[in-house]
Structure 1
């Protein structure tokens, strides 16, 4: 077989090209395992170094395949996946310092996915074992669940069977899920069903669209939360998703409430953007502005107490790394309403 023609083969027969990529990845994994058994080469590797070592190993194993060493590229910056091979194939490199095959993976919202990369393998390094070990398999075949803390991220288990993946549990293929218009809604529906089923198994609660009696699953409606608790949740949502909420995009916010706090709200708009225009100091403003101003003291207190730092890091990283977090949040919000010139000052005066 002539080497170095993987792109041409891909254009003619994707299945043959994918088989060749599978062969390259298993050769790479075997090569790295042999190196790990015979040397201490990978001991102490951090994530960035392991990415570079994987590129070196893949280039070495291109011999006698349709891939050329120049086809293998390490992608710099916060892109997905870490390595791109011949434009259409990718490798996501993950590792753990522990002696196990499980870890937390990447975000389910693949907004940084490299264009045209349609076939991705996971290469996982178990760096806590003696010797260090590596496994590889198709990306979607090692994702067994979604983390319910902070922003939604896949959970990795390199030893699960294909029928135990999160996509098998949700009843949807990986490519159909990632290419759907609203994958977050699919996850939210799955978790709502899962929460209800778990509660029914534990206790004979009756749950309908109108009544939620379970203490673990709460429907946000009149009387469910007192005013202080409502304001606390709304302030957190404004901190984590300022631009989305100001623009009436509630997908990530509703998912966060569902998987982080088991709270379902079917009328999210009423919390923030319902209502017409109001007047503040001569400015005609949407009703949400008054709500934001009322919540600003709670926002300021939460940011000063650092109680939701992990959530901020995952959902609003620009805010997490800001020195003056309240001032940065004020800027994030005020940018959504450039027509209200005084908004930034109103919020800073809180």
Structure 2
């Protein structure tokens, strides 16, 4: 009954906001999107609160505070609903974002906890999703402390809490929440690691090997790696995998003693793409061709801040794929590259040749 009342009320708030967006009554500015999402949500909660059938007594919210959840809705009968507001203006299609700290030092106790996620597309179109908080925690990741990883694209069965058998309430009320999580990982035969990082960087809480990764994640890693580190194609042999190995550990908690082999082992072979042939090409070019679709996807979906971290010469990273590829081409040319290989790479990525 609690969850029905909560979901019904939050759905009505979202419906109201979506109607105002459609009519033009409600607009958002990209630079202030995060603050505006909170403000708009609370404004519409208060409007519904004034309706006769909604028995809400008060709404707790303080913009820019560290309170979790962002909004607490108190009913006259004592029921409390918590709503955490999340927002994103990234170009990617995923509904993944960092959640609150597992330690929950700023948590307000509520009877039901939900997340409302506002997403602004590059076109300015706004999408809004809501979910029960516990059902959309996909994992525990590490920033400066363990945090929940939120994914509104997963089913309840795929959630961390469903897989672990631990409930959100158990962790939230535990005096040793980290111990509960590490005990679960140990039972799964995995090792938890808690490395201090910046707030924006996250990695899974367990160290894993390349061989245990899913095929889809491996393809994603290939795509992102070739985009972030163009030197994989033509960098100095003694150091071109250094950045890649550090990135794999920090982002995906993946270690591999034969990482170079994943990209360039196997000697040379003839390759061909759309009539353009290279006899006895390096294996890394063959790998590059095989992962073409995932590389293009990574150009579209990698966050600008992550690209900026590795493309250090560039302080502004555009969202458009073609503009990103133009920067990438310049980075590729920082190291010597055979003209035939360079033209092949540009053809594969459909980048205008010089």
TM-score relative to the length of structure 1? 0.48
TM-score relative to the length of structure 2? 0.48
Structure with greater strand share of residues:
2
